[in-house]
């Protein structure tokens, strides 16, 4: 009879498995160490990163908090040791960021950890070096009041975890994003992040507005609207950007609950809901929201890395957030249609008031010139020759968005003008060979957060291959000198910001250029709301039918809907 197939794991394996749940990447180390510093009452926190050979080699977090004694240091690196809880009942009212006692032990299990700490009443500090869970050195050390934690050789004994780390730029971006979120959750604390000695972000620790200005830039911060709201369950405060400032994903919606920055889809959706119809359905706002709520309604012990919380009365809290945001934006008032009154319908021949030239709609020469330029740039001899069997005669336009046409055999054709031109542009940009570029009349200067700046640096080659020449233009600022010729000679800075946002959402790598091409095609295409003459509509449809896959746009939406003569007769019950 053989022994049992089930056996207990050894302590080293248990520790490494536990560390894998808490420490996923370098940004996880930064998060845990900064949270410890905040819990220690720090008023200033410096995060230093050093890299070499394309990887992060060292992480150092220094604070001016309360410090630890030599005995505290020895205990702090053991699993499940903490000064923040005494028993299970304390979980219901915990306000500290850490509470499980896992962070230092988890880091020490997969890295070389050096801690130097000193309390105000001590003359000398204490130094402890741990690697792989074993204490290597322990001694007294001169040190200022506070704690300095240095992490090296991360994942040295877990090669699988080290193998799956992303590029240096991506990991630095995650670190910058982590520090940004923590700094916004604690604007009363001064933060600084450096990479190889270069400052990537810094906040003064003097208040919310100053932190927002330092992290998001003075231009964006200057237009933010204050949010204030209160309900029976919570108090809501913070800032939101006007609807004209939008992102392709919610990476700049920051939500803190009782000072803890959290990833909460319901709360992010509540912020988005506060904008109502002021934002397109596929766009997200910029917002910094702080929630103060009774700790008895918050369960912080639901995620290994403490990134999520569970609210016992979440719908009511989400409603309070939405109302506060809506009040700040003034969206409770009716908003007039941005398109104004409907365009007049041309009168049929013989009407006492004759219709003008065959123009579907007219909204100024500027629109017409832009549309004409856009069609010329995508022509390139791509329209099918006459007699190709796919001719469509355009007879109207609905809502300045859909072209209405008829074929020679009596079929009715509806074309989404933006989706159609987007498909044409996408095919042109995806063609083999370099993208045709042009110098901008005035370079576009964009101001980035530290995280965004890291993404731009990481994707310089992808941006260049898509037609964007980007140069540094000061601290976290960039000047765009060239763009794809299909975008024209004047480019809205929002287009470049949109590109950065898409890259953050999707990351770097081989798919980055594909995403860039889709963004350029979307922004360079004829817009919904643009008037087209019948002749321009026919040229656009000709270009569409010359595309490889004309029936969908790059996002998979249909470009053309056809009603055959037989289907029309059936709809009207004709035999």
pLDDT at 456 (0 to 100) = 86
Question: What is the third-level CATH fold of 11-205?
Answer: Heat Shock Protein 90 (3.30.565)
pLDDT at 15 (0 to 100) = 60
Q: How confident is the model at residue 575 (pLDDT cuts 50, 70, 90)?
A: low
- Residue range(s) of every CATH 3.30.1370.100 domain in the chain: 358-575
CATH of domain 223-329: 3.30.230.10
Q: How confident is the model at residue 16 (pLDDT cuts 50, 70, 90)?
A: low
Cα gap 257→269, rounded to integer Å: 15
> Which residues have CB under 8 Å from 347's CB, separation 6+?
353, 354, 355
- Residue range(s) of every CATH 3.30.565.10 domain in the chain: 11-205
Number of Cβ within a 10 Å radius of residue 377: 18
Do residues 553 and 423 lie in contact, with contact meaning Cβ atoms separated by under 8 Å?
A: yes
- Among 6-20, 133-147, 339-353, 387-401, the range with the most confident prediction by mean pLDDT is 133-147
Smallest CA-to-CA distance from 74 within 105, 41, 106 is with 105
Cα gap 206→177, rounded to integer Å: 20
CATH of domain 358-575: 3.30.1370.100
Query: DSSP strand E in 431-532: where?
Result: 437-447, 469-472, 477-484
Q: How confident is the model at residue 289 (pLDDT cuts 50, 70, 90)?
A: very high
Backbone dihedral angles phi then psi of residue 434, each to the nearest 5 degrees:
-70, 150
pLDDT at 283 (0 to 100) = 87
Smallest CA-to-CA distance from 526 within 437, 427, 441, 423 is with 423
pLDDT at 84 (0 to 100) = 61
Do residues 421 and 378 lie in contact, with contact meaning Cβ atoms separated by under 8 Å?
A: yes
3-state secondary structure of 360: coil
Over the stretch 165-210, which tens digit does the pLDDT of each residue have? 888 888 999 999 999 999 999 999 999 999 999 999 999 999 999 9
Quote the pTM value. 0.74
Do residues 274 and 321 lie in contact, with contact meaning Cβ atoms separated by under 8 Å?
A: yes
* Angle (nearest 5°) at CA 101 between 96 and 106: 125
474 vs 225, higher pLDDT = 225
Mean pLDDT along residues 43-68? 95
- Cα 414 to chain center, whole Å? 35
Cα gap 300→294, rounded to integer Å: 12
**Is the model's pLDDT at 144 over the cut of 70?**
yes
Residue 253 bridge partners (DSSP): 287
Cα gap 63→75, rounded to integer Å: 20
DSSP letter for each residue of 206-233: S-HHHHHHHHH-HHHHHT-EEEEEE-SS
- Residue range(s) of every CATH 3.30.230.10 domain in the chain: 223-329
DSSP H helical ranges for 223-264: none
What 8-state DSSP symbol labels residue 359? B
């Amino acid at each position: 009879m053989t022994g049992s197939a089930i056996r207990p794991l050894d302590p080293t394996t248990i520790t490494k498995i536990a560390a894998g749940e808490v420490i996923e990447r370098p940004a996880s180390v930064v998060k845990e160490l900064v949270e410890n510093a905040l819990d220690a009452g720090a008023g200033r926190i410096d995060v230093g990163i050093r890299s070499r050979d394309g990887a992060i080699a060292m992480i150092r977090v220094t604070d001016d908090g309360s410090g630890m004694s030599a005995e505290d240091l020895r205990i702090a690196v053991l699993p499940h040791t903490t000064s923040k809880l005494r028993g299970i009942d304390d979980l219901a009212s915990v306000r500290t960021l850490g509470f499980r006692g896992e962070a230092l032990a988890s880091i020490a299990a997969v890295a070389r950890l050096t801690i130097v700490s000193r309390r105000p009443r001590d003359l000398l500090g204490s130094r402890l070096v741990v690697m792989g869970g074993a204490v290597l050195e322990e001694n007294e050390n001169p040190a200022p009041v506070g704690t300095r934690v240095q992490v090296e050789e991360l994942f040295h004994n877990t090669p699988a975890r080290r193998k799956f780390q992303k590029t240096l730029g991506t990991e630095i971006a995650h670190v910058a994003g982590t520090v940004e979120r923590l700094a916004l959750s604690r604007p009363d604390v001064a933060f600084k992040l450096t990479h190889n000695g270069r400052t990537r972000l810094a906040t003064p620790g003097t208040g919310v507005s100053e932190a927002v200005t330092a992290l998001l830039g003075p231009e964006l911060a200057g237009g933010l609207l204050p949010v204030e709201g209160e309900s029976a369950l919570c108090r809501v405060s913070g800032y939101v950007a006007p609807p004209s400032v939008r992102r392709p994903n919610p990476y700049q919606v920051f939500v803190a609950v009782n000072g803890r920055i959290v990833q909460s889809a319901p709360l992010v959706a509540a912020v988005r809901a506060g904008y109502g119809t002021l934002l397109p359905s596929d766009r997200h706002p910029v917002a910094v929201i702080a929630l103060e709520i009774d700790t008895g309604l918050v369960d912080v012990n639901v995620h290994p890395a403490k990134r999520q919380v569970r609210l016992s009365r979440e719908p009511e809290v989400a409603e309070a957030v939405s109302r506060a945001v809506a009040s700040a934006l003034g969206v409770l008032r009716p908003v007039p249609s941005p398109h104004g009154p409907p365009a007049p319908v041309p009168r049929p021949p013989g009407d006492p008031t004759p219709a003008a030239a065959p123009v579907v709609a007219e909204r100024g020469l500027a629109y017409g010139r832009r549309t004409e330029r856009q069609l010329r740039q995508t022509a390139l001899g791509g329209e099918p020759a006459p007699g190709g069997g796919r001719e469509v005669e355009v007879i109207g336009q609905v809502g300045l968005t859909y072209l209405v046409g008829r074929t020679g055999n009596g079929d009715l054709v509806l074309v989404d003008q933006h989706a159609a031109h987007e498909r044409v542009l996408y095919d042109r940009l995806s063609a083999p060979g370099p993208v045709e570029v042009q110098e901008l009349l005035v370079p576009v200067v964009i101001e980035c957060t530290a995280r965004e700046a890291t993404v731009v640096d990481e994707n310089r080659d992808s941006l260049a291959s898509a037609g964007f020449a980007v140069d540094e233009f000061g601290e976290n600022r960039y000047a765009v000198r060239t763009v794809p010729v299909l975008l024209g000679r004047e480019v809205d800075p929002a287009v470049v910001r949109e590109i950065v946002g898409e890259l953050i959402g999707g990351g770097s790598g081989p798919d980055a250029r594909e995403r860039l091409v889709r963004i350029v095609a979307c922004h360079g295409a004829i817009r919904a709301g643009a008037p087209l003459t019948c002749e321009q509509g026919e040229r656009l449809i000709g270009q569409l039918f010359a595309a490889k896959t004309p029936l969908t746009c790059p996002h998979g939406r249909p470009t053309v809907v056809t009603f055959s003569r037989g289907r029309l007769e059936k709809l009207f019950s004709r035999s």
